[in-house]
Copies of this chain bind each other. A is one copy, B any other.
């Protein structure tokens, strides 16, 4: 086990009806908030009314900024920063999925940053403060409700960068599984692929002596897979959504990756797809993850045998580990297919034209400063290209 520093202060308020408490929960922290959201879906579902009524009752003033897109954009972030400064907002309330929360975090630190906030993402600059962020989650997937991470797309530059800081950990997040009932099946599927990837990126490690976090990762993955199929069969299954939502938070609050060298190659490879083709992050991960596993597993057979047995439930001969691993990866592939997730770049609308460009961008080779992806196995741009090509 490696030395580590675990800090996950975001309070998680979980369960039916909890979103109606948002006003009283925020009042001690701010008299005026920015209500940040995406499309009009929170108006149609009635959530907008519940939230604004609760804020009004508690005497919390608010200004609004809607319009966050999936793969949240820098231009809206910049608009939000200007609005918060002008209106002297004390807290940002993100009502939505990971994109809305990530956009809120970017605004939260941008308010105190004197230059263009994109510099912080591009140059990985340290920040010393940010406005507090609270969230009401409507899509379990990104884990942004507890993490200190934010991913923003610079649409002008066609770049998608992530940034992390403990100052970005939300103050509190409300998760009511009933808010997930009306999600389309595609968002269930994308969310499941995303939260599983958050565990995989931590699980696959060269670090030895990781019993506890191995077990926590495996329990989280099994919970996600079981309950994803229950939700797929009945989108109003409260208990199954509850498991998925809670698991999505545990997948990304940091705990299950402590003391382990982490991987993150799949996220790195996927960000290029999203940046250039605006594909859903989870869909991109569903295509790339089994491909990555096939590419790296021969060099890390013991780790992948453990995955096959403990996560995918393969019962087969340990004397044929390659077959065991192949069956494990095959089951993951089949599980993603069962959720109607894509398995090829073609299905994502991505042709062969820009694969090399994306591979070179993913590792930084395109910018003359290549840093291979991956903690389990280093991937240079040529490796990334092979993985892309393997799922063309």
| Partner-B contacts on A (CB < 8 A) | 1-9, 11-18, 208-209, 211-212, 214-216, 218-220, 222-223, 226-227, 239-240, 242-243, 246-247, 250, 255, 258-259
Copies in the complex: 2
Which residues of chain B come closer than 8 Å to A8, judged between CB atoms? Answer: 8-9
B222 near A215 with CB under 8 A, answer yes
Closest to A213 in B: B246
On chain B, the residues within 8 Å of A246 by CB distance are 1, 212, 258-259
- How distant is A30 from chain B, measured CB to nearest CB, in Å? 19
Q: Are B209 and A220 in contact (CB under 8 A)?
A: no
* Beyond A1-B239, A214-B219, 9 additional pairs, beta carbon < 8 A: A3-B15, A4-B13, A7-B12, A8-B8, A14-B259, A208-B239, A209-B239, A215-B219, A255-B255
Q: Report B-chain residues with C-beta under 8 Å of the C-beta of A14.
A: 3-6, 258-259
- B residues less than 8 Å from A240 (CB atoms): 209
A250 contacts across to B, CB distance below 8 A: 212, 216, 255
Which chain B residues border A2 with CB–CB below 8 Å?
15
Interface centre among A215, A239, A240 (most CB of B within 10 A): A215
The 8 Å CB contact of A218, one of B7, B219, B227, B247, is B219
Q: How far is the CB of A321 from chain B (nearest CB, A)?
A: 22
Contact B243 A211 (CB under 8 A): yes
- A109-B3 Cα distance, complex, nearest whole Å: 31
What are 9 contact pairs spanning A and B, CB under 8 A?
Answer: A5-B12, A6-B11, A6-B14, A14-B259, A15-B259, A208-B239, A211-B243, A212-B243, A212-B246
Q: Known contacts being A15-B2, A242-B1, is A219 close to B227, with CB within 8 Å? A: no
Residues on B with beta carbons closer than 8 Å to the beta carbon of A226: 211
A179 to B223, CA, bound (A): 36
Nearest 6 CB-CB pairings of A with B: A3-B15, A215-B219, A209-B239, A9-B9, A7-B11, A6-B12
**In the complex, how many angstroms separate the beta carbon of A41 from the nearest chain B beta carbon?**
24
Q: Which residues of chain B come closer than 8 Å to A214, judged between CB atoms?
A: 219
Residues from chain B with Cβ under 8 Å of A7 in the complex = 9, 11-12
Q: What distance in Å separates the Cβ of A199 from its nearest Cβ neighbour in chain B?
A: 12
Q: Distance in Å from the Cβ of A217 to the closest Cβ of chain B?
A: 9
| Contact partners of A16 in chain B: CB under 8 A | 3
Task: Please report the C-alpha to C-alpha distance between residue A284 and residue B212 in the assembled complex, in whole angstroms.
Answer: 26
Report the separation of the CA atoms of residues A5 and B10 in the bound assembly, to the nearest whole angstrom. Answer: 11
Please name all residues of chain B whose beta carbon is closer than 8 Å to the beta carbon of A227 when the two chains form the complex: 211
Residue pair B255, A242 in contact (C-beta under 8 Å): no
Asked if residues A243 and B1 are in contact (CB atoms below 8 Å), the reply is: yes
Q: Please, which residues of chain B bring their CB within 8 A of the CB of A3?
A: 14-18
- In the bound complex, CA of A6 to CA of B5 (Å): 20
When the two chains form the complex, which single residue of B5, B13, B218, B243 contacts A11, counting CB atoms closer than 8 Å? Answer: B5
> What separation, in Å, do the CA atoms of A8 and B169 have in the docked complex?
13
